[in-house]
Each structure stands twice: as C-alpha cells, then as structure tokens.
Structure 1
C-alpha cells in the first residue's frame, strides 16, 4: 500500500501518493501462487532465526487499507469499496499484539480508501484518499481532507485541507510528481522538490532521517495501463534534495507493504501486470541503505497485494489484501489473513 507520509522534526513530509496510490481504480492481476508456507514456522528462504507466525485475522477482509503503528498498536483505516460505485467502508480497526486482538473503533469522518497516514506523539494523521460524493456515484473521487485521529480518545479532528494537485483515474491523466510537507504546529502546507520518478503505489520507508521510495507504478493510476518499476530513490528532508539512484529492487512490483527494522526496509507482496503476465506476488525482500544492497528473504505465506501492516517490536505484521483479480478468473477475493515475520 503504500502511503507516503513521514514525520520529522515537527513536520510531515507528504510524498504525494495521490498520483494514484490514493486513487488507483486499477485493473487487477491474476492469482499469484498458492498459500505456500504454513502459518507458523520457517518459510523457504527465510534466514535462520526468523520465522512466520499466524495471528488473529482482521475481522472485515478488505484491500487498500492504510496501516500505521501508534503506541505499540497497529491501526487500519479505510478500505476499497465493492466495485467502482460502491460505498467505501470508512472503518477503523485497532490491533493489540499483547492480546492478539482486533477492536473496531470510530469510523472515519469521511469514508475513504487509499489514504495516507502518519503517527506523531501518539496521534495519527490521515490525508486524502478516494471518496464517494453521492450515493451510487463514483467511489474514486479525489479528496484533499486532513484529519487527526486520537487513539486514546477514539476521536477525530479536522485539519487544513491540502491545496495541491489531484487526479481522477477515470479521466485522462498522468501520475503526479508532487512532494509536500505538512506542519501540524502551524497547520500549513509547503511544496518541496518534486519526485525524480513520478509514480504511485510504491513502497516507502524512513532510515536515519531519509525517505526511500521503492518500486511502484509509473504512467497511470490503472495497473492495466501503467507499468511497474524497480527504481529506488532517496530523499533528504533536511536539504530538500534527492540523492543518486540506488540499487534497484530485485522484484519490480507495486501495491505491497513496507516496514523498517534495525535500519533495513522490508518489502512484502504486491502485484505486477505486463502483457505476458498478471501476477500477485509472494516476494519478500530487504533493502539496506547503509550498504545500498538487497537481500531476498524467501516468500510470504500467502501471495497478495493491496495489503497493509507495520512493525511492532521485532515483528513485521502483514494484514489483509487481495489474492485474486477480476480478469484473472472468478470473483475478486480479499483475505483476512494476518501473518507476522519475527525479525532478528
């Protein structure tokens, strides 16, 4: 999934996934792989000392939720509607690893999917997304709203709407290159250096104060008219500059989930659609910015894209997602499966 909001020195750096990660009404890839490794144990290729564990499934299966860790718990926001004119659920779930338990929280003020999320001082900030403005209408209308969610009070507050660009994936468009920063102290937005590679649905992570953009989709909001990329780029918020091109991701894909542990960025799942292949990925890899190198870590237990998750302690939680595609045969299927890789 990837949302692109990162907190540093009192400000949010908002890598505008509104290019389409916020609004990708994309065509879908076919089924990719089987259930694979068992829910608990060592998956093929996983280094010794690391294992996958099966945890409590999310109560309402969906895809394109946005996840963020706050106060040692995982929070999920939104999710896709059913079809292009369905109503987005707007639901919020809290996962407590202490009891391996999910709790449904207060719904979003405006039901949206593909939102960008970030945590700061125990509060969660939710930006943009795709919404349905009227019953029966399109469910991928761009939104520029900004909210603050307080997990302790289970309450919402409105913040200043974003003034930047947006796109409608159902109209002729191009993927945006927008990079913005939001300062919650002053409730203001500012434009920053644009992305060298305009893209959406990329993996993102922060290591030592720098933001890394990994893979994703270029050209279009739609997977069927866009292309996956393996490009890795580094952004330094302190200087507002982009670094040299980094070592490319071994498995080009989009619509996966990333987490950071011990200064390494772990990337899981995703999809890749080409003229020859429509696939949902089981790939699991790690990028080390210090050595500018990649390590393959075997396969996830279940191939999926549009998944979400986050790192709590030494566990990288991977939740939900999509396991089939409409033109891949049969009806699209979302999974409630919740796996975690124990990292060392």
Structure 2
C-alpha cells in the first residue's frame, strides 16, 4: 500500500492463483473505494513508494520464480502508468523509500542499496551490503536511512539494523532489534514536543 494525494493505493499482489495488476484507491474523506488504471506488469513482492505527486512500483515477481527489473510510474492526474528506467538488477521481496530527491531500494537477493532519480530517470549503486536482506524494512530518520531486519541467504530472520549516512557516505550497523523480523513495515514518526512549555517573551512563568 502507498499513500498519495490523501488516498490509499492498494496495488497488485497475488490472489492465490496468479499475480494481478489491479489498483484500487481508498478515499478516507468520502469513505469510498474506486479503481485506478492497472499496472503495466503484473507483480507481487515489489517495492512501492510515492514521490513528487507520483507513485512508483519497482521490481517484484511476475510469477513465483522470476523477478523483474521494471520501474512502473503512475500519474494520478492522468490515471496512466509509464515504464521508467529499469533497475540495474532484477529483484523481488524488496522495499523502497522516498528520501530527499531520490528513491532508495533495498532487499531481495541484491546485497546492495540502490537509488533512483526520478528527475534524471536514472539508477545508481549507493553501497554494497555484506548479506542479503530479503523482505527488510527501510525508513528515514534524522537525515539517515535505517534498514531493519529481513532474511539472509539461509532464509534466517535478521535482527540487526543498518544505518546509511548520506553525508559521510558510510554504512554502519546501528543496533540489534529485540527479535529478528521480516516482511514488516518501517515508518518514521515525528517526535512530539507537546511536553515543552511555550515561552512567551515578557511573560511571567508561574
């Protein structure tokens, strides 16, 4: 699922028999569902994120064994999908996040973090990983990217958290989760400062 323009998009997947290309949208304001234009490539286990008023579906599996390198882009203003520059590798069981002016993709059997520039319609390798991290999570926080959990080459659940610092161009192991996770979601929640009293110049604090 992806949120774009105040609507929730439910995209593709597997219906128990085959990969599907259906796209449905939920409008919470009007509490109603509607159909959007279908995907160009039927996929499941793909990466999806929104960026600059558009929706991107990256990679995924067109069937149970193969993976694709396709980058599918949806424009809600025209209700149309277009194919953009393909990923450097075919991959599924991946995750993506929009961070600054790029879309970062990690997971699957790639052993790497890749970045896509929608402005230039081009891909680049950001950094290599020491292990596979299929079905991992990724989220930005404090101007860094955090890669959580996943499954390694032996299909064992991973508990470590990696941190990519774009300023230092360095990947480090940040911490270890209480338990390993995979096929999960990672989100960023803004820190609340409601506990801090507002100070007004000239006012008397009681």
> Please, which of 135, 141, 144 is the counterpart of residue 255 of structure 1?
135
CA shift, 1:121, in A, is: 2.7
Which structure has greater strand proportion? 2
The answer for the alignment partner of 1:271 in structure 2 is 151
The answer for the alignment partner of 1:168 in structure 2 is 63
> Please, which of 112, 119, 123 is the counterpart of residue 3 of structure 2?
119
The answer for the alignment partner of 1:299 in structure 2 is 176
CA shift, 1:140, in A, is: 4.8
Note the residue ranges of structure 2 that are not aligned, 5 or more in a row.
Answer: 44-61, 193-206
Matches within 5 A, 1:162-201: 162-166=39-43, 167-169=62-64, 173-201=65-93
Distance 1:288 1:152 in 2: 38
* Bigger radius of gyration: 2
- Pick closer, same or farther for the CA change 1:290–1:202 going to 2, 3 Å: farther
Consecutive aligned runs of 4 or more in structure 1 exceeding 4 Å deviation:
none
Contact 2:164 2:170 survives alignment (8 Å): yes
> Please, which of 86, 105, 116 is the counterpart of residue 213 of structure 1?
105
Q: Normalization by structure 2: what TM-score?
A: 0.76
Alignment size in residue pairs: 174
Contact 2:131 2:152 survives alignment (8 Å): no
The answer for the alignment partner of 1:109 in structure 2 is none
Distance 2:85 2:120 in 1: 10
Distance 1:305 1:140 in 2: 24
The answer for the alignment partner of 1:147 in structure 2 is 24
Relative contact order (alpha carbons < 8 A, sep ≥ 6): 1 or 2 greater?
1
Distance 2:138 2:17 in 1: 24
- What value does the CA root-mean-square deviation take over the aligned residues? 2.0
Distance 1:149 1:200 in 2: 25
The answer for the alignment partner of 2:57 in structure 1 is none
